[in-house]
Chains A and B, each alone.
Chain A
Amino acid sequence: MVQFALFLVRLFKAPIQWLGVDFPQFEILIGTKLTIDFRSSPTGFQISGSKKSTFLYQLLTFSLFGLLFGIAAFSIGDLILSLTIFFTVIMVSLTMTIISEFTSVLFDQRDNYILLPRPISSRTLLLLRLVHIQFYIGFIALALSLATGIIVAVKYKGIIILIYFIAVGLSTWMTLIFTTFIYLMISKVVNGERFKDLITYAQIAIAVIIFGSYQIVPRLIDTAVLKNVTMSVHWWTYYFPPAWLAALVKLSLFTPVTTPFLLLSFLAVFVPITGAVFLIRSMSKGFGNILADGSSETVTPQNGRTLNTRLTSRINKYLCISEIEKAGWNLAVATTSRDRKFKQSVYPFFGIMIVFGVIILKPDLTNLAVSLQENGELSKYLFIVICGFSGSTAILQLPYTDTPEAAWIYKALPLKENGHLLTGAVKAILFRFIIPIYLLITIPSILLWGFTVFPQIILSCLGNILLVLIAIIFQKMELPFTQVREMHQKGTNSLRAILNMILMSFLVGFVYITSSLSGWITILICGLVAGLIVLIFRFIRKSWISPKGWVTLRNIEERL
Chain B
Amino acid sequence: MENSQITIRNLKKSYGKGDNKNEVLKDINLVIQPGQIIGYIGPNGAGKSTTVKILCGIIPDFEGEVTIFGKDLKTESMEIKKHIGYVPETGALYDLLTPNEYLSFIGTLYGLEKDKLESRAGNLLSFFGMEKHSDQRMDTFSKGMKQKILIMAGIINNPDIIFLDEPLSGLDANTVILVKDLLIQLAKDGKTIFYCSHLMDVVEKISDRIILINNGIVVADGTFEELKTEKAGTLEMLFAQLTGRKDNEINTENLFNGSHKN
Residues on A facing B (Cβ under 8 Å): 24-25, 28-29, 32, 35-36, 39-40, 111-121, 192-193, 288-289, 292-293, 295-301
Contacting residue for B58 out of A24, A121, A193, A292, CB 8 A: A292
Are B92 and A113 in contact (CB-based, < 8 A)? yes
Are A119 and B110 in contact (CB-based, < 8 A)? yes
Which residues of A lie under 8 Å from residue B49 when comparing CB positions? Answer: 297
Q: Name the residue on A nearest B83 (C-beta).
A: A119
Which residues of A lie under 8 Å from residue B110 when comparing CB positions? Answer: 118-119
Are B61 and A298 in contact (CB-based, < 8 A)? no
What CA separation (Å) do A267 and B45 show in the bound complex? 54
The answer to the question of B4 belonging to the interface, with a C-beta cut-off of 8 Å to chain A, is no
A-B contact pairs, 17 of them (CB 8 A): A24-B108, A29-B109, A35-B97, A35-B101, A113-B58, A114-B94, A115-B109, A116-B56, A117-B56, A117-B88, A118-B109, A119-B78, A293-B61, A295-B53, A296-B59, A300-B16, A300-B22
Are B22 and A119 in contact (CB-based, < 8 A)? no
Which residues of B lie under 8 Å from residue A192 when comparing CB positions? Answer: 15
Which residues of B lie under 8 Å from residue A114 when comparing CB positions? Answer: 92-94, 106
Q: How many residues of B contact A (CB 8 A)?
A: 39
Closest CB in chain A relative to B116 CB, distance in Å = 14
Are A289 and B81 in contact (CB-based, < 8 A)? no
Known interface pairs A118-B81, A297-B49, A300-B22. Does A292 touch B109 (Cβ–Cβ under 8 Å)? no
Contacting residue for A301 out of B20, B53, B56, B78, CB 8 A: B20
What CA separation (Å) do A312 and B142 show in the bound complex? 40
Are A117 and B57 in contact (CB-based, < 8 A)? yes
Closest CB in chain B relative to A552 CB, distance in Å = 20
Q: Name the residue on A nearest B90 (C-beta).
A: A113
What CA separation (Å) do A300 and B90 show in the bound complex? 21
What CA separation (Å) do A84 and B183 show in the bound complex? 64
Given contacts A36-B94, A119-B109, 13 further A-B contacts (CB under 8 A): A24-B111, A111-B92, A112-B92, A113-B86, A113-B90, A114-B93, A114-B94, A117-B81, A117-B84, A117-B88, A289-B60, A295-B53, A295-B58
Contacting residue for B108 out of A28, A115, A296, A297, CB 8 A: A28
The answer to the question of B205 belonging to the interface, with a C-beta cut-off of 8 Å to chain A, is no
* Binary contact readout B96-113 vs A (1 if CB under 8 angstroms, 0 otherwise): 110001001110111100
Are B24 and A298 in contact (CB-based, < 8 A)? yes
* Binary contact readout B58-99 vs A (1 if CB under 8 angstroms, 0 otherwise): 111100000000000000001101101010101011101100
Contacting residue for A296 out of B15, B20, B90, CB 8 A: B15
What CA separation (Å) do A114 and B104 show in the bound complex? 13
Closest CB in chain A relative to B114 CB, distance in Å = 10
The answer to the question of B50 belonging to the interface, with a C-beta cut-off of 8 Å to chain A, is yes
What CA separation (Å) do A292 and B110 show in the bound complex? 20
Main secondary structure, interface of A, reads: helix
Closest CB in chain A relative to B199 CB, distance in Å = 20
Closest CB in chain B relative to A395 CB, distance in Å = 29
Nearest 8 pairs between A and B by C-beta? A300-B16, A113-B92, A117-B86, A119-B81, A300-B20, A113-B88, A28-B108, A117-B56
Give the number of A-B contacts (CB < 8 Å): 94
* Binary contact readout B107-125 vs A (1 if CB under 8 angstroms, 0 otherwise): 0111100000000000000
Contacting residue for B22 out of A28, A29, A298, CB 8 A: A298
Which residues of B lie under 8 Å from residue A193 when comparing CB positions? Answer: 16
The answer to the question of B180 belonging to the interface, with a C-beta cut-off of 8 Å to chain A, is no
Which residues of B lie under 8 Å from residue A35 when comparing CB positions? Answer: 96-97, 101
The answer to the question of B137 belonging to the interface, with a C-beta cut-off of 8 Å to chain A, is yes
Which residues of A lie under 8 Å from residue B111 when comparing CB positions? Answer: 24-25, 119
What CA separation (Å) do A49 and B20 show in the bound complex? 52
Are B58 and A299 in contact (CB-based, < 8 A)? no
Contacting residue for B105 out of A32, A293, A297, CB 8 A: A32
Closest CB in chain A relative to B44 CB, distance in Å = 11
What CA separation (Å) do A192 and B61 show in the bound complex? 11
Which residues of B lie under 8 Å from residue A36 when comparing CB positions? Answer: 94, 96-97
Closest CB in chain A relative to B64 CB, distance in Å = 16
Which residues of B lie under 8 Å from residue A121 when comparing CB positions? Answer: 78
What CA separation (Å) do A111 and B102 show in the bound complex? 13
Q: Name the residue on B nearest A559 (C-beta).
A: B139
Which residues of B lie under 8 Å from residue A112 when comparing CB positions? Answer: 58, 92
Which residues of B lie under 8 Å from residue A300 when comparing CB positions? Answer: 15-17, 20-22
Contacting residue for B61 out of A29, A32, A289, A297, CB 8 A: A289
What CA separation (Å) do A35 and B110 show in the bound complex? 20
Are B59 and A119 in contact (CB-based, < 8 A)? no
A-contacting residues, B1-47, CB 8 Å = 15-17, 20-22, 24, 45
Are A119 and B97 in contact (CB-based, < 8 A)? no
Are A116 and B92 in contact (CB-based, < 8 A)? no
Are B60 and A292 in contact (CB-based, < 8 A)? yes
Are B109 and A296 in contact (CB-based, < 8 A)? no
Are A111 and B78 in contact (CB-based, < 8 A)? no
Known interface pairs A32-B97, A121-B78. Does A25 touch B108 (Cβ–Cβ under 8 Å)? yes
Contacting residue for B137 out of A25, A39, A120, A296, CB 8 A: A39
What CA separation (Å) do A25 and B96 show in the bound complex? 19
Which residues of A lie under 8 Å from residue B92 when comparing CB positions? Answer: 111-114
Q: Name the residue on A nearest B21 (C-beta).
A: A300
Known interface pairs A111-B94, A121-B78. Does A298 touch B45 (Cβ–Cβ under 8 Å)? yes
Which residues of A lie under 8 Å from residue B78 when comparing CB positions? Answer: 119, 121
Which residues of A lie under 8 Å from residue B60 when comparing CB positions? Answer: 288-289, 292
Which residues of B lie under 8 Å from residue A40 when comparing CB positions? Answer: 96
What CA separation (Å) do A299 and B45 show in the bound complex? 12
What CA separation (Å) do A295 and B104 show in the bound complex? 24
Which residues of A lie under 8 Å from residue B82 when comparing CB positions? Answer: 119
What CA separation (Å) do A111 and B81 show in the bound complex? 17
What CA separation (Å) do A193 and B57 show in the bound complex? 20
Closest CB in chain A relative to B159 CB, distance in Å = 10
Closest CB in chain B relative to A240 CB, distance in Å = 39
What CA separation (Å) do A307 and B88 show in the bound complex? 39
Known interface pairs A36-B97, A288-B60. Does A120 touch B109 (Cβ–Cβ under 8 Å)? yes
What CA separation (Å) do A297 and B58 show in the bound complex? 12
What CA separation (Å) do A267 and B83 show in the bound complex? 44
What CA separation (Å) do A111 and B90 show in the bound complex? 11
Known interface pairs A295-B53, A295-B58, A296-B50. Does A118 touch B15 (Cβ–Cβ under 8 Å)? no
Are A298 and B97 in contact (CB-based, < 8 A)? no
What CA separation (Å) do A36 and B58 show in the bound complex? 23
Closest CB in chain B relative to A296 CB, distance in Å = 6
What CA separation (Å) do A298 and B15 show in the bound complex? 7
Q: Name the residue on B nearest A194 (C-beta).
A: B17
Which residues of B lie under 8 Å from residue A295 when comparing CB positions? Answer: 53, 58-59
Q: Name the residue on B nearest A120 (C-beta).
A: B109
What CA separation (Å) do A112 and B88 show in the bound complex? 11
A-contacting residues, B184-213, CB 8 Å = none
What CA separation (Å) do A289 and B60 show in the bound complex? 7
Closest CB in chain A relative to B81 CB, distance in Å = 4
